[in-house]
């Protein structure tokens, strides 16, 4: 018999995610979360004895959703339209859990499990990105050497991981809306487009304007 989902635990997670995204994780106390959920601090600590347990649970959700999205990539790769759709899906997950990537260096320094998890996540992203780029080359869309693809892979992973952190520093605000996610997709398109053959390059650059 499967366990019924714990509604209080889920409310704590959802509220914490909302507050962390809005105010940043260091600025939110467990007491503030308990107040927002309308439960006692003791009730919250019953489900999450320490704040670290709460952070780890949210990171586990984030990691699971990224892996689920990466699993959508077929072994044979996407066509060009599918490739950009896939990048947008990844950025949507990043946006949903933006407090993690926005403050990733700080979080990794204070929560060792997140550092381990990010290492695994980024390695999986590298593998999938390489497979998709190699597929585009096999389809005659991409004109890049193995070394150039390797460099593109690193640039894609860096952009996916640190884009919102850069945007926060650039805008000096935590108020990051959907347009900031779209600009992240635009950055990825701008990285890959120069290595495309025509007519795909022109089509891609035209498509990029939708995200600019």
CATH no. for residue 94?
1.10.357.10
80 and 18 belong to one structural domain: no
Residue 16 has pLDDT above 60, yes or no: yes
What is the reported pLDDT for 2?
Answer: 42
Asked if residues 158 and 187 have their Cβ atoms less than 8 Å apart, the reply is: no
141 and 183 belong to one structural domain: yes
Contacting residues for 17 by C-beta, under 8 A, at least 6 apart: 58, 96, 97, 99
Nearest Cα neighbor of 130 from 113, 149, 148 is 149
Asked if residues 26 and 106 have their Cβ atoms less than 8 Å apart, the reply is: yes
1 and 23 belong to one structural domain: yes
How many other C-beta atoms are found inside a 10 Å radius of the C-beta of residue 176? Answer: 18
Asked if residues 172 and 115 have their Cβ atoms less than 8 Å apart, the reply is: no
Number of structural domains the chain divides into: 2
170 and 83 belong to one structural domain: yes
116 and 193 belong to one structural domain: yes
44 and 68 belong to one structural domain: no
What is the reported pLDDT for 175?
Answer: 55
Which two tokens mark 122? Answer: 């980024």
Give pLDDT tens digits for 40-84: 999 999 999 999 999 999 999 999 999 999 999 988 888 888 988
Long-range contacts from 126-134, C-beta under 8 angstroms, 24+ separation: 126/153, 126/154, 126/157, 128/70, 128/73, 129/153, 129/156, 129/157, 131/73, 131/75, 131/77, 132/73, 132/77, 132/78, 132/83, 132/86, 133/192, 134/77
What is the reported pLDDT for 86?
Answer: 92
38 and 74 belong to one structural domain: no
Asked if residues 181 and 96 have their Cβ atoms less than 8 Å apart, the reply is: no
Asked if residues 204 and 210 have their Cβ atoms less than 8 Å apart, the reply is: no
77 and 175 belong to one structural domain: yes
73 and 9 belong to one structural domain: no
10 and 73 belong to one structural domain: no
CATH of residue 44? 1.10.10.60
DSSP conformation class of 40: -
Question: pTM, whole model, 2 decimals?
Answer: 0.89
What is the reported pLDDT for 81?
Answer: 86
Rounded alpha-carbon distances, angstroms, from residue 40 to 7, 32, 36:
15, 10, 10
Mean pLDDT for the stretch of residues 23-45: 96
Residue 24 has pLDDT above 60, yes or no: yes
Q: Where in the sequence is the domain holding 21, given as residue range(s)? A: 1-49
Asked if residues 38 and 12 have their Cβ atoms less than 8 Å apart, the reply is: no
């Amino acid at each position: 018999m499967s366990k019924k989902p714990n509604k209080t635990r889920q409310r704590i997670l959802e509220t914490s995610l909302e507050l962390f995204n809005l105010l940043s994780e260091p600025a939110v106390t467990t007491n503030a979360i308990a107040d927002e959920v309308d439960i006692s601090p003791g009730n919250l600590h019953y489900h999450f004895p320490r704040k670290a347990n709460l952070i780890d649970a949210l990171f586990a959700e984030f990691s699971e959703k990224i892996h689920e999205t990466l699993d959508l990539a077929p072994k044979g790769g996407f066509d060009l339209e599918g490739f950009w759709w896939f990048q947008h899906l990844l950025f949507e997950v990043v946006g949903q859990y933006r407090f993690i990537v926005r403050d990733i260096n700080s979080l990794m320094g204070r929560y060792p499990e997140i550092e381990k998890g990010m290492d695994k996540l980024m390695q999986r992203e590298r593998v999938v990105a390489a497979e998709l780029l190699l597929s585009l080359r096999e389809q005659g869309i991409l004109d890049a050497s193995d070394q150039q693809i390797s460099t593109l892979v690193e640039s894609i992973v860096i952009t996916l991981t640190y884009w919102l952190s850069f945007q926060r520093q650039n805008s000096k605000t935590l108020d990051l809306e959907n347009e900031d996610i779209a600009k992240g997709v635009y950055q990825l398109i701008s990285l890959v487009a120069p290595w495309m053959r025509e007519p795909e390059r022109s089509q891609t650059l035209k498509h990029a304007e939708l995200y600019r």
